[in-house]
Structure 1
Amino acid sequence: MISRRTGLAATAAALLTGASGPAATAAAPHRAPGLRSRLQSDVNAIWATGATGVLAEVQSARGRTTARAGSADLRAPHHPVPRDAYYRIGSDTKTFTATLALQLAGEGRLALTDTVERWLPGAVRGNGNDGRRITVANLLRQTSGLNDYLAVSPDSADAFTPDGYHRSRFRTTAPEDQLKAALSRPPLWVPNAEHPARERRWGYSNTNYVVAGLIIEQVTGNSWAQEIHDRIIEPLGLRHTFTPGTSPYVPRPTATAYTWFPGCARPTDTTLASGGGADGSVISTTHDHGVFLRALMSGRLLHPAQLAAMKETVVAEDWSAAPGVRYGLGIAWRPVAGRSGGIWFHGGTHLGIVSESGVTPDGARAATSATFTLRMGDPAQDAQDLAALRLVDRALTG
């Protein structure tokens, strides 16, 4: 449910909740062969780091190009990853949630300067935490100072073992309980008392989006899942995107999500997993995810003022996977050589799944990828992440 922002050690701390097989490509026949071959080369590079299966797509108004490598399951190495595989997009969910909040702001139903206290009276109190000094903008921009509920969970250590995973894979936790866990510790900081929305200290916390989801429900009177469906999924025709609720299952077609837990020589099948909500529960496909990103950046989902607010960023100093990252409202920006204006992205990690994507500032082109492998505490994961970033950068500068 998080992006790869601080390396594998932090990724493992925040999750808490030799591949073989054929490679193949699929592309719209009218696309230039250069894009097809480059995308396949970059997918192969991710696979070569030891990933079990990889899927990627580049799309624009001219069409789509896809590539895949590896196998859908290590027990059937000659079965490739399905071209339309479902997967958990993890913290890429946060961009959906931020879009919902900004839509409500555009309708005048809430303001980015509203405090948490305004919508959830007394919900953020204790141990120095103070919802009167945290705004909606602080939540969406990750400048609230709230602890990540995953990192401070009392059973966090147990979650990083195969046995711990098997015990918890059907277990769900209410957002109120997630918030309670976060509030059990003093905050990292409390935003400026006079102008909290102007806070520039940044710290990634899934708790911010748990609270944002609760505010969306309070404002609308509907569940966060219903608002996602009614405002984004249905209008965009995302027929392969949904929120699973308490179900731990991913629909077919999919590929096995493998996690190498710390100190384990063999991977664990972590395809079944419960947990997450507004911070990281959406299931989608590379195609649907790309459609969403292009619609967002092209202005189909937000009014100009709200899209501009989404792009107001602060420095994300500990996002080590890529230099120069700045974080806006549920989406991040990074400079890319050869691409004037850089690219917008987020990224998401779930047990056994790494989602990496990006979109041009005008929404003209998007690149999305899913790698069905997560290796906690293994330097090979760093190589996998860098290869995925390179795929996105090359796809959006070609």
Structure 2
Amino acid sequence: MQTLRTLLALPVAALLLALAPSGTSALTAPSPKTVLPLLVTRGKAPAAALLAVSESGSRYAQSGPGVSRAHHFRAGSITKTFIAVVVLQLAAERRLSLSDTVERHLPGLVRGAGNDGRALTLRALLNHTSGLYDFTADSSGSAPVTPHQAIRIALTHPPASPGRYAYSNTNYVLLGLVIERVTGRSYAAEAEHRLIAPLGLTGTSFPGSRTSLPAPHGRAYAADGTDVTDLDPRVAGAAGEIVTTLADLGRFYSALLRGELLPPRRLREMLDTRAAHGSYGMGLFPVKLPCGVTVWGHNGRISGSYVRTAATVDGRHVLTFRVNTTAIAEPGLELRLLAAEFCPRHQWNERASNADPHSRRSIG
């Protein structure tokens, strides 16, 4: 849920050195199961788990105690993908347009400190080019707030440069209110009706103000080791409220990228990163791996949980991993794990040396 400005891409030489066996210059493609324990030993997570799904089947792995394949966990900003799909479905139904101003749906709400909802479109909220201040920078993502309180916090700050990409949780809080205004139902109810129930995502929910996790679940820990399993989801709202499972996230992102949830035109819009200069589409962002493969998905960080889902653009290969703490102490391990999963051995050896050392950032 918090904004992560952490670089996913390490310098390629350092990445390849980390992946090469000691005492040899040969490049080898690691297995995700060998990288996962590093999230615990070097990433300082109490425990980690992953689930990979492809046409050849599914593979689950875990490291450390207190996690399992069936556990429910908080997924933070992965919520944004669900919210973006609902908005794009409403656009496909012509119940709204992405070129609508915020003012049209939420009259008078976005005004102050140079912010003006009359000049902001729904598209700018979806791709984080609105310039609206991120309310969690003031609340630290730990104080429960209502959507209107979150927006009031944001509106005490002047906007960033209009049209420039700047990740902000405030954008998706506003989109949650737009969904409610257009449909007459909450964003949670719309996501349940449109996405969760049709896909059979039985482990996924929007908890509202419920502080406990559904059973089964493990424990969640802050960076200092404090148990933060019980948490008021209103610290995040439409920007990061969701609770889910590894299997549900794999099913959701696969269905999305396979074209099961949006018409082709709307899915193309979702994957269009030009407005954000390649950094972000609409509720999705791409990462180009050292072998040249590009994966799509989102990450999520909320107190006690960090989650990452990535998939090939056709949705046929999806990886989700999670740790039961707020962040990975060594962020470069994320890129290493994605490369281990998605880079074929022959592509790794032939193409890794040509990779862009500054390819993408982790932003959720």
| TM-score, with structure 1 as normaliser | 0.77
Pair 70,316 (structure 1): closer, same or farther in 2 beyond 3 Å:
farther
Q: Deviations over 1:189-210 (max 9, x none)?
A: 3x3xxxxxxx3x1101000000
- Residue 187 of structure 1, aligned match among 143, 152, 159: 159
Q: Does 1:270 align with 2:228?
A: yes
Residue 312 of structure 1: aligned partner? 272
Which amino acid in the other structure matches residue 332 of structure 1? F
Residue 192 of structure 2: aligned partner? 229
Verify the 8 A CA contact 1:94 1:330 in the aligned structure 2: yes
- Specify the SS of the correspondent of 2:210: coil
Residue 120 of structure 2: aligned partner? 134
- Larger strand percent: 1
| TM-score, with structure 2 as normaliser | 0.84
In the alignment, the residues of structure 1 paired with residue 335 and residue 275 of structure 2 have an alpha-carbon distance, to the nearest angstrom, of 19
Q: Deviations over 1:81-108 (max 9, x none)?
A: 2221111110011011001100111111
Residue 196 of structure 1: aligned partner? none
- Specify the SS of the correspondent of 1:334: strand
Residue 287 of structure 2: aligned partner? 334
- Residue 255 of structure 1, aligned match among 201, 214, 218: 218
Residue 61 of structure 1: aligned partner? 55
In the alignment, the residues of structure 1 paired with residue 119 and residue 6 of structure 2 have an alpha-carbon distance, to the nearest angstrom, of 27
Q: Deviations over 1:365-398 (max 9, x none)?
A: 10001101236xxxxx441x32133222321234
Verify the 8 A CA contact 2:296 2:312 in the aligned structure 1: yes
Q: Does 1 or 2 have the higher relative contact order (CA < 8 Å, sep 6+)?
A: 2
Which amino acid in the other structure matches residue 269 of structure 1? D
Q: Does 1:48 align with 2:41?
A: yes
| Unaligned segments of structure 2, at least 5 residues | 9-28, 345-364
- Specify the SS of the correspondent of 1:188: coil
Q: CA deviation at 1:152?
A: 2.9
Residue 351 of structure 1: aligned partner? 303
In the alignment, the residues of structure 2 paired with residue 315 and residue 358 of structure 1 have an alpha-carbon distance, to the nearest angstrom, of 21
Q: Deviations over 1:139-198 (max 9, x none)?
A: 000000000111134xx4xx7xxxxx6xx5xxx321011111111121123x3xxxxxxx
Verify the 8 A CA contact 2:2 2:136 in the aligned structure 1: no
- Specify the SS of the correspondent of 2:145: coil
In the alignment, the residues of structure 1 paired with residue 276 and residue 314 of structure 2 have an alpha-carbon distance, to the nearest angstrom, of 22
Verify the 8 A CA contact 2:289 2:338 in the aligned structure 1: no
In the alignment, the residues of structure 1 paired with residue 7 and residue 305 of structure 2 have an alpha-carbon distance, to the nearest angstrom, of 16
- Specify the SS of the correspondent of 2:222: strand
Residue 178 of structure 1: aligned partner? 150
Q: Does 1:125 align with 2:118?
A: no
Bigger drift between 224-233 and 387-396 goes to 387-396
Q: CA deviation at 1:45?
A: 1.8
In the alignment, the residues of structure 1 paired with residue 191 and residue 292 of structure 2 have an alpha-carbon distance, to the nearest angstrom, of 31
- Specify the SS of the correspondent of 1:374: coil
Which amino acid in the other structure matches residue 271 of structure 2? K
Verify the 8 A CA contact 2:3 2:169 in the aligned structure 1: no
In the alignment, the residues of structure 1 paired with residue 191 and residue 284 of structure 2 have an alpha-carbon distance, to the nearest angstrom, of 17
In the alignment, the residues of structure 2 paired with residue 388 and residue 287 of structure 1 have an alpha-carbon distance, to the nearest angstrom, of 19
In the alignment, the residues of structure 2 paired with residue 388 and residue 45 of structure 1 have an alpha-carbon distance, to the nearest angstrom, of 10
- Specify the SS of the correspondent of 2:319: strand
Q: CA RMSD in A?
A: 2.0
- Specify the SS of the correspondent of 1:138: helix
Task: Give the share of equivalent positions with the same residue, in percent.
Answer: 39
In the alignment, the residues of structure 1 paired with residue 82 and residue 3 of structure 2 have an alpha-carbon distance, to the nearest angstrom, of 14
In the alignment, the residues of structure 2 paired with residue 184 and residue 253 of structure 1 have an alpha-carbon distance, to the nearest angstrom, of 41
In the alignment, the residues of structure 2 paired with residue 177 and residue 69 of structure 1 have an alpha-carbon distance, to the nearest angstrom, of 39
- Specify the SS of the correspondent of 1:258: coil
